[in-house]
Structure 1
Amino acid sequence: MSKHFQVLVIGGGTAGIMVASMLKRKNTSLKIGLLDPAKKHYYQPAWTLVGANTYDFEKTAKFMDSLIPKGVEHIKEFADKFDPENNKIISKEGNEFTYDYLVVAPGLKIAPDLVEGLSEAMDKGVVCSNYTNPNHTWEVLKNFKGGTALFTQPSTPIKCGGAPQKIMYLADEHFTKIGVRDKTNIVFAMPGNVIFAVKKVAKTLMEVIDKKDINVRFYHKLVKVDAKEQIAWYEILKESDDGNDCVVIKAKEGDVVDKEIQHNYKDIKAIEKDGLIGIHFDMMHLAPPQQAPDFIRNSPLATESGWLSVNSSTMQHKKYRNIFGVGDVCELPTAKTGAAIRKQVPVVVENILNLLSTSKLADKKYDGYSSCPLVTGYGKMVLAEFDYSKEFKPDPKLKEFPLMISDSSKEHWRLWILKKYLLPYLYWNKMMKGIEV
């Protein structure tokens, strides 16, 4: 089978549906195809709340066919091979689809195989992840009886970079509520050297870390998970200053812990072996490693690191002028979030419509805007908003919403209302319907 579309969209996630909906809203005559085999679409930002038993998982799902706009053809197949020289996509089923313009928005894929032992450990026993099974996360938190609660994230790019710590703050309050916090050490091990890239937000988060007495371990790259022994093995990315007897873990009397590696040090069960540090856990929540889908990484559209190559301002592919990228699959120096997609889609849509009518790109540019709703407890949240500069830059449009506060870099209950109620409404009723917000 062979079929031609004026615009072909790959991916039925946030980016793909929003692009198709906005294009159709602005030009009803466009012949648009959307290639994605999924039957259901999930509002994944709420999975943090599901993992903390404050949101119903079923409410995060809707059938794909209920979201794809009228007049857009839903092709329920997997994209497999690109032939950009001939404006052609070949599906896994062997069908060919040609296009005038292509929008690549397949998201990313969870890749636990990048960490030894993680595939076997994922979503079993006391190992959980809101990225894959938030209901299991709640089972783990609910049954936790104390010990070391380890929260961690990989060294790869991930969607919603703040998610690995959000569930940690909620877990802290849950453990307090059920009476096990006083016999629990909460540890957050991460490969970076700061809690968050935006300084103003990082300051607030470090205050939360201190208030909750959480042990943060910087420069920790997860390389192996031993599910049977319940040990997470880390490579330390910073060399300790042996001249000052600074170490990562205390092995003997007089050892001084390197404060650049550990904040709020806790003497938990940890071992050193073969140049790695092993942390024993009684529960572990992690963001698994993530990467671009294989059909992107192995295509002529990818950068050397495997992500989709696009111009950071126009979202146009750097080599093929009739191809655009949106969302998590793109190689951009900003966070992979739904908020970023909210700002990228109008740029892509305007560019395609302008190219169709004038053969030129539109003036609209993407400035790297992204945001991360950082839940810091039940009923509390910080809203990190920033662009390519990594400076705190609130979106004026969000400021127009009811209940918004003057400084969203601070914890506030109103921001929790935004996260739990207003953002889901905005997602289903505006973004999915192609309305620019």
Structure 2
Amino acid sequence: MNASSQSLSHQVVVVGGGTAGTTVAASLLRQRPELDVAVVEPSEVHYYQPAFTLVGGGTYDMDSTRRAQKETLPETATWIHAGVASFEPNSNLITLEDGRQVQYEHLVVAPGIKLDWDRVDGLREALGSNGVCSNYSPETAPYTWECLRQFRGGNAIFTQPPPPLKCAGAPQKIAYLAADHLRRNNLAPESNLQFYSGAGALFSVPDFVPHLQKVMDRYGIGVNLGHDLVAVDAERKVARFATTDSNGERTEIEQPYDLLHVTPHQTAPDFVKQSPLANADGWVDVDKGTTQHTRYPNVFSLGDASSLPTSKTAAAVRKQAPVTVRNLLARMDGQALSAQYDGYTSCPLVTAYGKVMLAEFMYDGVVTPTLPLSPFSESRFYWVVKKHLLPPFYWNQMLRGKEPDIAHKPLKS
């Protein structure tokens, strides 16, 4: 693999060396080894982010979540080790942060999502000390477990911002693991656990809400919907939330904490939001079936930065990538785009140590299990899948462009 690009012109340029970008690049080169594919990615480390929740829960090793970027990208791809500054799709051109320009014939945009730590006043300064933690960063996820181990009772608060966000189940997964940990260590009676969400429902798919509410009730976790974290006062150990009352008036409340797990607000990367590729909300504007851009036919996008109206998870990328690759190759061959993405995504909702409720669904919130097991039951089997089977599948299959699959079917009512 080339560490740098001498000829900054390529047949296919993939922006992003994360889950989506790497999977697409690998699949393209597996199917057509002669293709000239470049991956634009500034980071030197690739993380298996779905395990961050388990790291924060003290049941997964942080070192096992990371590998060198050069080891995960396809060997025959050109790695352009830089960040993107801007897109010029009318000229089939990308400008890099170092000023270089990259010409392309086809473009795949998959740079992931931006964690907006500065959206909450005082959060960046408070994060990583005095009980303020987050599983959403590899730098801070291990501190979550440290906070849980040191917690001896008091107020434990878990937050979730309004959508969109990646892995929308993760904010409540850590609440469940914390509650289970406290119960196992006889600290539950001295603990007050509260879940504050800026969303209007506990989960985006209504069918799962009553089952997740039962988990919350079992642990005695208070659920506070429509409460958006706006400030953290680390000196006073107080979290401030904005909410809207029944009259539509915005008010703010303060809650003291001994442990505060924060899920940051999330948005599209700035260079995407400010580009001609973005829709009004800042996401790469693509057809929800083909993943092709709505205005630039030689541009495709998938993953967290795309406008695809489904939950932003690695499982969604697993289904989006084959569609993107098939349609991109079809366009290169002058054929019609026949592959269609149905919105499939899944979220392994960890409800306890050793238990997972696997939420699988398509567009419009249609529940669509892969296996003939109840999607609403907490399962030991799915815990084994999440902790032991999915990581090697990710590293050895998905990121290698291999596409073994099991069909999912809508749940019969």
Which bin holds the TM-score, normalised by the shorter protein? Answer: over 0.9
Aligned counterpart, 1:267: none
Deviations 1:39-66 (A, max 9, x none): 1100010010001110000001111111
Aligned counterpart, 1:41: 46
Inter-partner Cα distance in structure 2 for 1:6 and 1:193: 44
User: Which of 1 and 2 has greater Rg?
Assistant: 1
Match of 1:26 among 20, 31, 34: 31
Matches within 5 A, 1:119-130: 119-130=124-135
Match of 2:108 among 93, 99, 103: 103
Inter-partner Cα distance in structure 2 for 1:129 and 1:311: 33
Matches within 5 A, 1:212-231: 212-231=219-238
Q: Would you say 1:282 and 2:271 are equivalent positions?
A: no
Matches within 5 A, 1:152-163: 152-163=159-170
Q: Report if the CA contact (8 A) 1:221-1:237 is conserved.
A: no
| 1:200 Cα offset (Å) | 2.6
SS of residue matched to 1:138: helix
Aligned counterpart, 2:376: 409
Deviations 1:172-217 (A, max 9, x none): 1111222221100110011223211223322221111111111101
Aligned counterpart, 1:197: 204
Inter-partner Cα distance in structure 2 for 1:432 and 1:332: 21
Deviations 1:137-157 (A, max 9, x none): 011111111111000111241
Aligned counterpart, 2:411: none
Inter-partner Cα distance in structure 2 for 1:32 and 1:326: 17
SS of residue matched to 2:364: coil
Inter-partner Cα distance in structure 1 for 2:358 and 2:296: 36
**CA pair 237-331 structure 1, distance change in 2 beyond 3 A:** farther
Inter-partner Cα distance in structure 2 for 1:102 and 1:425: 29
Match of 2:360 among 385, 405, 419: 385
Identity %: 42
Inter-partner Cα distance in structure 2 for 1:286 and 1:343: 29
Q: Which runs of 4+ in 1 moved over 4 A?
A: none
Aligned counterpart, 1:346: 322
**CA pair 119-105 structure 1, distance change in 2 beyond 3 A:** same
Of stretches 206-215 and 4-13 in structure 1, the one that deviates more from structure 2 is 206-215
Inter-partner Cα distance in structure 2 for 1:221 and 1:287: 11
| 1:237 Cα offset (Å) | 2.9
Aligned counterpart, 1:252: none
| 1:241 Cα offset (Å) | 11
Matches within 5 A, 1:226-265: 226-239=233-246
Matches within 5 A, 1:2-151: 3-132=8-137, 133-151=140-158
Match of 1:321 among 283, 297, 316: 297
SS of residue matched to 1:207: helix
Deviations 1:77-96 (A, max 9, x none): 11111111110111111111
Letter in 2 for 1:117: G
| 1:324 Cα offset (Å) | 0.5
Q: Report if the CA contact (8 A) 1:292-1:329 is conserved.
A: yes
| 1:240 Cα offset (Å) | 6.6
Q: Report if the CA contact (8 A) 1:374-1:382 is conserved.
A: yes
Q: Report if the CA contact (8 A) 1:2-1:96 is conserved.
A: no
Q: Report if the CA contact (8 A) 1:80-1:92 is conserved.
A: yes
Structure 2 unpaired stretches of 5+: 1-5, 406-413
| 1:415 Cα offset (Å) | 0.8
Aligned counterpart, 1:430: 397
Structure 1 unpaired stretches of 5+: 243-273, 400-404
Aligned counterpart, 2:189: 182
Aligned counterpart, 1:295: 271
Letter in 2 for 1:188: F
Inter-partner Cα distance in structure 2 for 1:294 and 1:371: 27
| 1:38 Cα offset (Å) | 1.2
| 1:2 Cα offset (Å) | 5.0
- Taking structure 1 as the reference length, the TM-score comes to 0.88
Inter-partner Cα distance in structure 2 for 1:384 and 1:238: 31
**CA pair 40-296 structure 1, distance change in 2 beyond 3 A:** same
- Taking structure 2 as the reference length, the TM-score comes to 0.93
Q: Report if the CA contact (8 A) 2:291-2:301 is conserved.
A: yes
Of stretches 383-392 and 114-123 in structure 1, the one that deviates more from structure 2 is 114-123
Aligned counterpart, 1:166: 173
Inter-partner Cα distance in structure 1 for 2:78 and 2:7: 14
Inter-partner Cα distance in structure 1 for 2:9 and 2:253: 55
Inter-partner Cα distance in structure 2 for 1:223 and 1:69: 41
Inter-partner Cα distance in structure 2 for 1:369 and 1:238: 35
Deviations 1:209-245 (A, max 9, x none): 1111111011112122111111111111342799xxx
Inter-partner Cα distance in structure 1 for 2:63 and 2:70: 17
Deviations 1:11-70 (A, max 9, x none): 000000000000001111100000112111000100100011100000011111111112
Aligned counterpart, 1:334: 310
Letter in 1 for 2:390: L
Inter-partner Cα distance in structure 2 for 1:185 and 1:241: 29
Aligned residues: 397
Q: Report if the CA contact (8 A) 2:244-2:251 is conserved.
A: no
